[in-house]
Amino acid sequence: MFEARTIARLAKEAKVATQMGNQGHATESIRQFCEWVWDGAIGTVREVHAWTPHAVWPQDIDRPKETPPVPDTLDWDLWLGPAPARPYHPAYLAMMWRGWIDFGTGALGDMGCHVFDPLMWALKLRHPTSVEASSSIFVPKITWQKQRNKETYPRGSIVRYQFPARGELPPLKLTWYDGGLMPEIPAELPEVQDPTELGDTYGGFLVVGDKGKILADSHGAGHPRLLPESLHKNYQRPAKTLKRSPGHHEEWIRACKGGEPAGSNFVDYAGLLTEIVLVGNVAVRLGKKLEWDGPNLRFTNLSESNNLLHYEYRRGWAL
């Protein structure tokens, strides 16, 4: 969290080009989704559900006890970087580092910046006021004593964010699901029997308004669908009011050449998006409701939770 705030500040000071790798931010579908919401297609929104079936790497596991030799092709000290020292093991490498607390941010950190992106843009989300989480509990094989795993993220989590009113927009509750946990199937989709059929292989979201709902795939609000079906068929699509993107990579090249900043640049957009995602991870690790003061980067009701916003870098790796 501290790093996300710091890098956004430094990027602003240095006036450099930056871009998050949430490619969906450059798509046509995310702009279509925003225009539908702003046009009032589903009325006033107070509730959102978002999810991913990830993690597709191991989580809720212990640290390996074996200490195999480091491959000749790997500089293990360099790979660890500022993280606390530990013996090499292949369980950390390739994409599997994402599930380890010392190295990654789990399913929420991996997919949240994709799935939350359309929601943050269309619903004008800023800092949440509170966040709480429930998740699977680690059960060691030897003692069978339930506890929170300090090595990896849980197999599945539900994270509940509360966002305040934003101008004329009312307070909003956003609920996140991962690891196979899912929201209830919308009543407008009686033909769907398995909630995993909602969204795509990476996840999706359901926006609930007082006049209808929008169901979409994970990346950039792909294939947005109005519910009920009669609304989807009869809704008069609004004019295109948002400027269209030349493409994710084209935005980056343009910014690097001194042109218009990328839409998901760190300073104006992606820094805050990252913070929203990561504040949920703190709640996952503690399993408690946390009151969040985003502008001042601190939790106000549980002082020890602030220790998880940053960690002491390994000696020799501090800037």
Q: What is the pLDDT along the chain (319 residues), one digit of tens a residue?
A: 999 999 999 999 999 999 999 999 999 999 999 999 999 999 999 999 999 998 989 999 999 999 999 999 999 999 999 999 999 999 999 899 999 999 999 999 999 999 999 999 999 999 999 999 999 876 666 555 667 788 999 999 999 999 999 999 999 999 999 999 999 999 999 999 999 889 888 999 999 999 999 999 988 889 999 999 999 999 999 999 999 999 999 999 999 999 999 999 999 999 999 999 999 999 999 999 999 999 999 999 999 999 999 989 999 998 7
Record the tokens describing residue 109, joined without a space.
């950190």
| Within-domain flag for 90 | no
Separation CA 175–CA 8 (nearest Å): 26
| Within-domain flag for 77 | no
The pTM of the full predicted model, rounded to 2 decimals, is: 0.94
Residue that the structure tokens 């218009």 belong to:
260
| pLDDT at residue number 219 | 82
| Within-domain flag for 244 | yes
| Within-domain flag for 69 | no
Instruction: Name which of 145, 119, 131 is nearest 214 in CA terms.
Output: 119
| Within-domain flag for 319 | no
Q: What angle do CA 131, 134, 139 make, to 5 degrees?
A: 145
Please, which residues bridge with residue 290 across strands?
131
| pLDDT at residue number 149 | 82
Report yes or no: 127 and 292 within 8 Å, Cβ to Cβ. yes
| pLDDT at residue number 146 | 64
**100: helix, strand or coil:** strand
- What is the count of structural domains for the chain? 1
Separation CA 16–CA 257 (nearest Å): 10
175-210 burial: b if 16+ Cβ within 10 Å, else e: ebbbbebbbebbebbeeeeebeebbeebbbbbbbbe
Query: Domain range holding 197?
Result: 2-58+106-309
CATH code, 199: 3.30.360.10
| pLDDT at residue number 28 | 97
Dihedral, CA atoms, 306, 308, 312, 317, nearest 10 degrees? -130
Separation CA 212–CA 39 (nearest Å): 13
